[in-house]
Amino acid sequence: MIRWVLVIFFATIVFSALLPWLEKLGIGRLPGDLRFKLFGRIFTLPFASTILISLVVFVIARFI
């Protein structure tokens, strides 16, 4: 179980870095994705997008 927590944590970091590009595709604006402004900078935590993409990758991996 700790392995999945680490995978989701690292996926969140990667998706946060790629978020400006992914927002053009609609990822990062799902319900459950947190966005807040702190000290004039916008921070995003795409939890729902990370889970959705993880599930898609899991389903693809199951079929292969």
Q: Which DSSP symbol is given to 30?
A: S
pLDDT value of residue 22 = 75
Q: Residue 2 has what pLDDT?
A: 80
Per-residue pLDDT of the chain (64 residues; tens, 9 = 90+): 788 888 878 877 887 787 778 778 777 778 888 888 889 988 878 788 878 888 888 898 888 8
H-run or E-run covering 1: none
Q: State the Cα–Cα distance between residues 10 and 40, nearest whole angstrom.
A: 25
Give residue 30's identity as a one-letter amino acid code. Answer: L
As given in the structure block, the two tokens for residue 2 are: 């700790």
Q: Judge whether 19 and 46 are in contact, CB under 8 Å.
A: yes
* Domain span including residue 15: 2-63
Q: What is the pLDDT of residue 35?
A: 85
Count of domains for the chain: 1
User: What per-residue confidence (pLDDT) applies to 19?
Assistant: 74
